[in-house]
Amino acid sequence: ASNRNLLVLPGDGIGPEVMNEVRKIIAWMGKKRAVGFDITEDLVGGAALDKHGVPLSDDAMKTALEADAVLFGSVGGPKWDTADFSKKPERGLLRLRKEMDLFANLRPAKVFDALVDASSLKPEIVKGLDIMIIRELTSGVYFGEPRGRHVNAAGEVEAFDTQRYTAPEIRRVCAVAFELARKRKNKVLSSEKANVMHTGVLWREEATKLHKEKYSDVKLEHMYADALAMQLLRAPKEFDVIVTDNLFGDILSDEASMLTGSLGLLPSASLGAPDATGRRKALYEPIHGSAPDIAGKGLANPIAQTLSYAMMLRYSFDLGKDADMVETAVENVLKAGYRTGDLLVGNTDGVKKVGTQEMGDAIVKEL
């Protein structure tokens, strides 16, 4: 009994098992907090390839376009490594991003106090870290045409990809960054390689113009992507919101995620533009991949998937209080010493090593 239509796409590898734990939380929230969903489930990635011969069926694509939100697991694995480019499991995810027009990818990198020791960085560098990377997600070199391969004039095999950005594409993602910064520490760092790439020059110009026109109350700085890769290690706490393109965002957000100690902890939200009714298409997924090496063994950390669900409550359904509840439960479970394998780094006195299900149960119990 709700008009909250949710499409669940567990995908491959550890996707299904971490999604199972989230289902427990969804059930609990439905019962205790009356936060219910009409849930449809479908296949994506290798699982869809095996059944339908494509990494995302047209049917599933249609359901996604109609859903109020998509909760996504992860895709890929050695079984499909030799698949044709157009049939790689990843294409399922890329199709969702593109056809749903999910241009703004929000990737928080937050360090839990209980886990400061799990980071490979020194505690004084990362303690209290809370940054938000906004990655452009539907353009750039991921989708630009022409792309492919041919034999060039010299008779050599040559491959090519095109990075393209239009001014409106840059502006809309920068606007998301400025809006978010206003609710945070009011600082945006925009990153590109304007010293080398024409798309970088346009990116810097448009960010600067938009800032002047509509967001001059927010502090805006620019930094080349290579310099940012360094500053993220030297003084990450100086950043608040970072906005960058699809490819730089892919690399830099993965780098930033390691500051927190584990990929197993980090959620993400991918958002479209609001329509006339204010509704925006959205997909929520953990930052981690399908981790084929530990899939099916009950070892995976369900926290990133759980926090993706919490982001969904907040951004798609305006259920900030319920999102807080879930996030606090996760924090408390970590404080109480529960650790999946990925978190067992550094000092492990007084921690309880648990598997996927025990971690999920501990979160539900904490709720």
For its own copies, the binding residues (CB under 8 A) are 76, 85, 88, 90, 94, 120-122, 125, 141-142, 144, 147-149, 152, 154, 156-168, 193, 195-199, 201-203, 225-227, 229-230, 232-234, 247-248, 250-252, 254-255, 257-259, 263, 289, 346
161 lines the binding site for ligand IPM (CB under 6 A):
no
Out of ligand IPM, its own copies, none, which partner does residue 201 contact, by CB within 5 to 8 A per kind?
its own copies
Residue 254 known to be catalytic? yes
Cα-flanking dihedrals φ and ψ of residue 282, to 5°? -155, 145
Which 82-101 residues touch ligand IPM, going by CB under 6 A? 90, 93-94
Binding-site annotation, residues: 77-90, 97, 107, 135, 226, 250, 254, 289-301
Q: Quick one: which of 161, 145, 139 has its CA closest to 250?
A: 139
Catalytic residue among 42, 142, 245, 284: 142
Q: For residues 18 and 72, is the Cβ–Cβ distance under 8 A?
A: no
Binding-site annotation, residues for substrate: 97, 107, 135, 226
CB closer to ligand IPM, 19 vs 319: 19
**From 195, 217, 274, 353, residue interacting with ligand IPM (rule: CB under 6 A):** 195
Report how far Cα 287 is from the mean position of its chain's Cα atoms.
Answer: 5
Q: For residues 247 and 163, is the Cβ–Cβ distance under 8 A?
A: yes
Out of ligand IPM, its own copies, none, which partner does residue 59 contact, by CB within 5 to 8 A per kind?
none
Q: How far is CA 26 from CA 32, 277, 279, 296, 361, in A?
A: 10, 26, 22, 22, 12
**From 17, 250, 322, 342, residue interacting with ligand IPM (rule: CB under 6 A):** 250
198 lines the binding site for ligand IPM (CB under 6 A):
no
Q: Quick one: which of 22, 59, 52, 67 has its CA closest to 301?
A: 22
Give the dihedral of Cα atoms 142, 146, 147, 152; nearest 10 deg. -150
> Which residues, 6 or more positions from 198, have their beta carbon under 8 angstroms from its beta carbon?
none
What's the full length of the chain, in residues? 367
**Residues at the contact surface with ligand IPM, assessed by CB under 6 A:** 90, 93-94, 195-196, 226, 250
**Catalytic annotation, residues:** 142, 193, 226, 250, 254
